[in-house]
Amino acid sequence: MIPRLELRNITKSYPGIVANDDISMSIMPGKIHAVLGENGAGKSTLMKIIYGVAQADSGEIWCDGKRIEAHNPASSRALGIEMVYQHFALFESVTVVENIALSVSSTFDLKTLARQITHLSNRYGMPIDPHRRVLDLSVGERQRVEIVRCLLQAPKLLILDEPTSVLAPQAVGKLFETLRQLAAEGCSIVYISHKLDEVQELCDSATVLRNGKVTGSAKPKETTSLELARMMVGSKLPEMRVVPSVPSARPVLEVRGLTSPARDKYGVALKNVSFEVHGGEIVGLAGVSGNGQADLIALISGERRHADASVVRIDGKAAGHLNASERRGLGMAFVPEERLGRGAVPPHTLWENAVLTANRRGGLVRHGMVDRGKAAGFARDIIDRFKVKANGPSSSAQSLSGGNLQKFIVGREIALKPKLFLVSQPTWGVDVGAAAFIRQNILDLSRAGSAVLVVSEELDELFEICDRLLVICQGQVSPPLIRTKTNREEVGLLMTGADRGNDIEERSEVAVQN
């Protein structure tokens, strides 16, 4: 049988780095093939070469027995190749259906296309309103748009770069059903993920990259996750050191009766949200994407302000009316869910991005002037401490892999030693070793006295590092659950709204009292 995709000796270099070094692999029709590796191993670069976004310096790409000459995304789509990017390729100012229309080559009208989007997204358990603006969507909802866009094209080869990083467990299950069905119909799938349990469950074969080279192959269903992880990192994985929490007497973050209308007719209103986070503890906020968590974090971080100053208190001070900079002045640090555009300015250097939130750090800015040497030194410390693969502080943010940029942004905020640390999707798109490293640093920060609020759709992550858990569903936040006295099933039911009865509330109150 002729391979659906065959790579022969693909090499690609950038200034100071060889991203892909003589890579060869093949994928047969109807097979799901994983590409594994640490952040910066060259996975995303390789996928961009296959899709035509980047051109290889040398090597050949063959599809269905025919060599692909110099190509671009349009010619790839004509061959039946579709790709879901890790960093979404969407226009924020227009609607979902208008975004998807840009990739449709056949004749269509928007009303018919909108109906197709609604039908397909509901069928695969990833409902999305085709008339919403992308600007108003959460990261998880934008992920759905990208996946639905590709599925509408009935692809022969589907490339998925971290497709489940911000999907809820229920949506992941539906997506896997879809991918298996596509594979059964003859579609080949290239699957990049750092979630090794997903790779084991879904993929038929895997190629492992390290430092741009192929270092091994495996059949995930016949290989343990520990063996796969060791193949990726080439060493023993770090082990978490969990020190018991000793919460401060007074809460650092207080949210009291926060009610806020939906930003638009498609959004979710927040309804009488109340909770608190003490110094020395980590509180996790779980929820299916699009249930109001993005609005809640915006109101806590200062990206959005509230007319009632008392609904948010930071370190005992009313802060609901303050902007983001003023709240940072009270000791808050924040990692948003979107790396590029919100967490960092893509074309700016790492030292410039460091100054964006560290400008209050002693000596970096004096009389309105940036001390470039100290700023570069601060960025260098982050790069070294958080093991960021970059060509120094003068590297642009957009030159880093997604996982390495995430490590830099998280490191930048932790280095500020905040009283309150808000972090959304802390390990999105981060490899298994780096994820453990980030979680350990978040734990260490909390045990040093900081109050930490983590928003994540990965229940395993929340259960690994959190002391207490909150669940948001349709703009309402559950009473707190003690992590050691609850389980994934209970939290999963609360996430879907299937179990919001008094029995849960009673158990939660007892847990808090204990």
Please state, in angstroms and rounded to a whole number, the distance separating the CA atoms of residues 440 and 495.
Answer: 26
SS (H, E, C) 243-282: CCCCCCCCEEEEEEEEEECCCCCCCCCEEEEEEEEECCCE
Given the structure tokens 């996928």, which residue do they identify?
47
pLDDT for residue 366: 83
pLDDT for residue 296: 95
Given the structure tokens 């409902």, which residue do they identify?
127
pLDDT means over runs of 10, the chain (514 residues): 94 88 95 90 91 93 91 88 82 92 81 92 84 85 86 90 73 83 92 88 94 92 86 73 90 97 83 97 90 93 96 97 96 91 93 91 83 94 93 92 89 96 89 85 96 90 94 94 90 75 42 40
Assess contact for 141 and 289: CB atoms under 8 A: yes
Please state, in angstroms and rounded to a whole number, the distance separating the CA atoms of residues 205 and 202.
Answer: 9
Given the structure tokens 């971290």, which residue do they identify?
162
How many Cα atoms are found within 13 Å in the side-chain-facing hemisphere of 173? 3
Cα–chain center distance at 89: 15
Assess contact for 150 and 158: CB atoms under 8 A: yes
Q: Looking at the whole model, is its pTM more than 0.85?
A: no
pLDDT for residue 166: 63
Q: In order of start, what are the domains of the chain with their CATH numbers?
A: 5-233 (3.40.50.300), 251-331+418-513 (3.40.50.300)
pLDDT for residue 301: 97
pLDDT for residue 367: 80
Please state, in angstroms and rounded to a whole number, the distance separating the CA atoms of residues 243 and 230.
Answer: 26
Structure tokens given for 191: 């699957």
A 10 A CB-CB count for 92 gives: 13
H or E, element range at 462: helix 459-465
Residues near 181 by Cβ (< 8 Å), separated by ≥ 6?
Answer: none
